[in-house]
Amino acid sequence: MPIFGKLKNTLNLLRSIDLDKLAAINQKIDLAKAMNALGDLDERQLKGLMKLVQSKGKKGQHHLPPIDADFYKLETKLSKEERALQMKVRNFMETEIRPLANKSWYTAEFPMQVIDKFKTLGIAGMTYQGYGCPHLSNVMEGILTQEMARVDASITTFFGVHSGLAMGSIYLLGSETQKQEWLPEMQKLEKIGAFGLTEPDGGSDVSQGMKTTCKFDGENWVLNGQKKWIGNATFADVIIIWARDLDSGHVKGFLVKKENPGFKAERIKGKMALRTVQNALITLKDCKVPENDRLQHANSFKDTARVLRMTRAGVAWIAVGLSRGAYESALKYTKKREQFGRPIAAYQLIQNHLVEMFSNLTAMQTLVYRLSEMQDEEILTDEHASLAKVYCTMRMRDIVSRAREVMGGNGILLEYDVARFVADAEAIYSYEGTKEINTMIVGRAITGYSAFVN
C-alpha cells in the first residue's frame, strides 16, 4: 500500500479511538500483550472474535426477528379497518388499563374512571345491529376480547357482562320498546348492565333448581329470592334478573333498576380472582317490577340459554387473551433475567416451558378463530362453544402455571402481572359453565348418552 494510503488509514483509526475507553480497558487487561496476541491470530480466528464482540459475549444468541404471540398470523385475515381497531384497543389497554390493573386488583376496587375512557372506544354491543352498535363480526369481537384479556381479565369481565350478557339479553329477548329504551345508552356506557342468574344454592343446576320466584299480582310482577356472584351489580343501572314464575313454572327475565326499593346488592368480599370485578350477592324482597320491564321474548330457560350460547364463545377468547398475556410476560422476563451468566431463556428446560406454552396458545387461537367464524356462519352449536370453553380454560391453567414457574420468586409478585393472571384464570375456569358441565354437554353430543341427572 502506498505511504499516503497507509497514513490515511492510520489517521482514520486514530480518530475512531475513544481514549477514555482505551484507558479504562487498559486498567482491566494488559493492552500491549493483547495487541501482540491479536497480531498472531489468523483471519478465521479474528472473524470469530469479531462475532463474539458483536454479540456482546452472549453465547448462542441469534438475532432473529421477534416472534409475535400470533404465530400462525390469524391477524392477517383481518381487513385494514379491523386491524386498525384491534391496534386501537391494544393501545387503549396498554396506556389506560395496564398502569392501574394491579392496583385495582390489589385494592379490589373498580376504577370507575375507566368507564368514561371506555366510551371513547365505541365498541359496546360489538356484534349487534342498530341502536348505535358497531355490528362487527363475531371473529372481530373475539380478537378484541383477546386484546383486552391479555392485559386485564377483570376489566374484560366487566365489559363482557355489560356488553355480552346484559345488552345481549335485551338485544335477543327484549321488545322493540325495551331495546330502544336501553341499548343506545348502554352502547355509550351511559348506563351499565349486569346479569343475575346464579343463586347461592343454584349454580350448575340453576336451570332446574332456580329458587328466585316471580308472581304477577294483577298490577306488577313481585320478585323474591337471592342471586350470587353477579358482576357489576353493585353499581349497575339495570340488572337482568331471572326468576321462576310461580304460576306457569317457567323462567322469566326482568329489567330490574338499581333504585327499586326491593332490590339490594352487597359486594362479595375476599375473592382471590378477578378482584377488580364487583361481584354482588343480590337480595330481592317483594321487589316490584312493572310488566313493561319484563323481557317480552323470554318465555322459558331455553331463551336464557340463547344468551349464554352467544357469550360462551367470548369466555373461550378471554382464556386465550389471558394466556397470551401470561406467555408474553414470561417470554420477556426469561430473556432479561440472567442466571449462571446467561439469560434463562437460553436454557433448554426454560425453552421447553416456553414452547409448550406457545404451542398451546397457538392451538387455542386457531380453535377460537374457527369457533367465531362458525358463529358468523350461523352454524355454531352449544357443543362447539362448550368444547372451546373446556379446552381453552384447561390449557390456560397450564400456561399460567408454566409462566409463573419460569419467573421463579418474581412469579408470585403482583408487579410482574403473571401472579394476577394465575389467580384470575381460576374464576374464568369456573364461570359460565364449569369444566364438568361443558364436558357433559360435549359428551352427550358425541355419545348420544346424557350424563346429566335428568
Ligand X SMILES: Cc1cc2nc3c(=O)[nH]c(=O)nc-3n(C[C@H](O)[C@H](O)[C@H](O)COP(=O)(O)OP(=O)(O)OC[C@H]3O[C@@H](n4cnc5c(N)ncnc54)[C@H](O)[C@@H]3O)c2cc1C
- The residue nearest ligand X at its CB is 203
CB nearer ligand X, residue 128 or residue 195: 195
Q: Which is nearer to ligand X, 363 or 437 (CB)?
A: 437
- To ligand X, the closest distance from the beta carbon of 278 in angstroms equals 10
Nearer to ligand X, 279 or 334 (CB): 279
Q: Which of these, 411, 390, 416, 391, lies nearest to 401 by C-alpha position?
A: 411
Q: Which of 111, 164, 193, 231 binds ligand X (CB under 6 A)?
A: 231
* Cell, residue 452: 346429566
- Bridge partners for 389 per DSSP: none
Positions in 55-84 near ligand X (CB under 6 A): none
Q: Does residue 442 interact with ligand X by CB under 6 A?
A: no
Q: Which three cell numbers stand for residue 397?
A: 391453567
Distance CA 37, CA 45 (A): 11
Q: What is the widest separation between alpha-carbon atoms in the chain?
A: 112
**All three cell numbers of 1:** 500500500
Return the number of other C-beta atoms located less than 10 Å from residue 54's C-beta. 9
Question: Does 350 sit near ligand X (CB under 6 A)?
Answer: no
Q: Which is nearer to ligand X, 221 or 229 (CB)?
A: 229
Q: Does 362 bind ligand X (CB under 6 A)?
A: no
Name which of 142, 160, 154 is nearest 423 in CA terms.
154
Among 279, 304, 360, 365, indicate the residue that binds ligand X (CB under 6 A): 279
User: By CB under 6 A, is residue 274 in contact with ligand X?
Assistant: yes
Strands 263-267 and 213-216, sheet pairing: unpaired
Burial group, residue 305, by CB count within 10 angstroms (0-12, 13-18, 19+): middle
Which grid cell sits at 8?
490515511
Among 105, 195, 221, 416, binds ligand X (CB under 6 A): 195
Contact indicator for 136, 126 with CB cutoff of 8 Å: yes
Number of residues interacting with ligand X: please give it, by CB under 6 A.
Answer: 19
Rounded alpha-carbon distances, angstroms, from residue 384 to 101, 299, 305, 376, 378? 32, 25, 14, 13, 12
Select from 86, 204, 296, 351 the one that contacts ligand X (CB under 6 A).
204
Tell me the window of 253-261, 289-297, 383-391, 423-431 that interacts with ligand X (CB under 6 A).
423-431
Which residue, 195 or 327, is less far from ligand X as judged by CB? 195
Separation CA 187–CA 168 (nearest Å): 11
Confirm or reject binding of residue 161 to ligand X (CB under 6 A).
yes
Find the shortest distance in angstroms from Cβ 268 to ligand X. 9
DSSP 191: S
Mark the segment that binds ligand X (CB under 6 A) among 93-101, 107-115, 392-400, 432-440.
432-440
Of the candidate spans 55-63, 349-357, 415-423, 433-441, the one that interacts with ligand X by CB under 6 A turns out to be 433-441
Using CB under 6 A as the criterion, which residues of the chain lie in contact with ligand X when the complex forms? 161, 195-198, 203-204, 229-231, 274, 279, 427, 430-432, 434, 436-437
